[in-house]
């Protein structure tokens, strides 16, 4: 294959990329993109199983594989507005080496990225995204799309206007997130003790479930939202209006800092038996957290509401 190869895809097609791939760039309007990282040395593979509307351009150049609509730029994608007269969608699956740097931009499309150890950048105007088993650094920026991260061990940075963030079996990496109105739900497992978690939102609800025993210095506050705290070692100050949860859990080596203006704030305790069960199984166990986006729950006796 020459250094540069380009295809115009207007019908379902499968491509085997014989040259090494170090960077993947996908920009899609409508449909689904599924990116899977592999470590078995298999050939990178691109499958477009459905496509409607204008053709997609696939390009390979010096280790970078790109799949995109030519009129959808990577820079400025978050300012992009989907035009209803654009009737287009595609269902795309891409298999690349786990070490690949991945850039995915979607407008009204669902994105699933799994098994990547390289850096992952996700940009979404709308449409939900799922991140599974990523061990490299992750940056997710959305306008209104929801992001669910499961068993992500790399540092996660999230920025959104109204999109929700759900972290399941958070495992050790830093989590820095900010939004205007999006809700944030974090369930951190035993490997996240000592992690750096910093969350900021204006009107979104924040619910965090910490491992037991936990290891973090806590400073969480809300200006007008309700507060629920399941830890006796933490102090809740303020009875009317602004409320603050402060104190140290365990050795206090980690950081948990939360700021919300009008959203509620909930700190829950993850039962020790869940972590023991996960360790026995050799991996993270997803807790029964109820409907998607809902906060994990403890027994009423373990939760203090102020």
- Asked if pLDDT for residue 305 goes beyond 50, the answer is no
Number of Cβ within a 10 Å radius of residue 188? 25
| Helices within 33-162 (DSSP H only) | none
Number of Cβ within a 10 Å radius of residue 301? 7
- Predicted confidence band of residue 70 (pLDDT cuts 50, 70, 90): confident
- pTM given for the model: 0.85
- Predicted confidence band of residue 300 (pLDDT cuts 50, 70, 90): very low
- Asked if pLDDT for residue 279 goes beyond 70, the answer is no
Please tell me the distance from the alpha carbon of residue 121 to that of residue 117, in angstroms, as a whole number. 12
**What is the rounded average pLDDT for all residues in the chain?**
86
What's the rounded mean pLDDT across residues 214-232? 94
What's the rounded mean pLDDT across residues 222-240? 92
Please tell me the distance from the alpha carbon of residue 204 to that of residue 180, in angstroms, as a whole number. 7
User: What percent of the chain lies above the pLDDT cut of 90?
Assistant: 67
- Predicted confidence band of residue 285 (pLDDT cuts 50, 70, 90): very low
């Amino acid at each position: 294959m020459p250094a540069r190869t380009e295809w115009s895809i207007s019908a379902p097609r499968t491509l085997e990329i014989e040259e090494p791939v170090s960077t993947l760039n996908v920009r899609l309007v409508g449909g689904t993109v599924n990116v899977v990282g592999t470590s078995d040395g298999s050939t990178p593979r691109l499958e477009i199983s459905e496509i409607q509307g204008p053709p997609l351009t696939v390009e390979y150049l010096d280790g970078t594989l790109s799949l995109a609509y030519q009129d959808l730029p990577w820079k400025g994608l978050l300012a992009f507005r989907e035009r209803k007269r654009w009737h287009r969608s595609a269902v795309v699956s891409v298999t690349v080496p786990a070490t690949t740097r991945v850039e995915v931009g979607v407008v009204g499309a669902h994105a699933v990225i799994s098994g990547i150890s390289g850096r992952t950048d996700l940009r979404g105007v709308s449409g939900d995204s799922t991140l599974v088993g990523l061990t490299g650094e992750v940056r997710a920026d959305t306008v209104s799309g929801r992001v669910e991260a499961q068993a992500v061990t790399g540092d996660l940075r999230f920025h959104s206007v109204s999109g929700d963030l759900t972290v399941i079996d958070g495992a050790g990496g830093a989590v820095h997130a900010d939004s205007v109105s999006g809700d944030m739900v974090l369930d951190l497992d035993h490997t996240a003790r000592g992690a750096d978690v910093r969350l900021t939102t204006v009107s979104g609800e924040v619910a965090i479930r910490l491992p037991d025993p936990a290891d973090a210095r806590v400073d969480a506050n809300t200006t007008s939202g309700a507060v629920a705290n399941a830890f006796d070692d933490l102090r809740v100050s303020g009875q009317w209006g602004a409320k603050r949860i402060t104190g140290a859990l365990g050795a206090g080596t980690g950081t948990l800092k939360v700021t919300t203006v009008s959203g509620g704030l909930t700190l829950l305790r993850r039962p020790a038996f869940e972590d023991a069960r996960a360790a026995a199984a050799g991996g993270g166990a997803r807790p029964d957290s109820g409907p998607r986006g809902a906060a994990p729950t403890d027994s009423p006796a373990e939760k203090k509401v102020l």
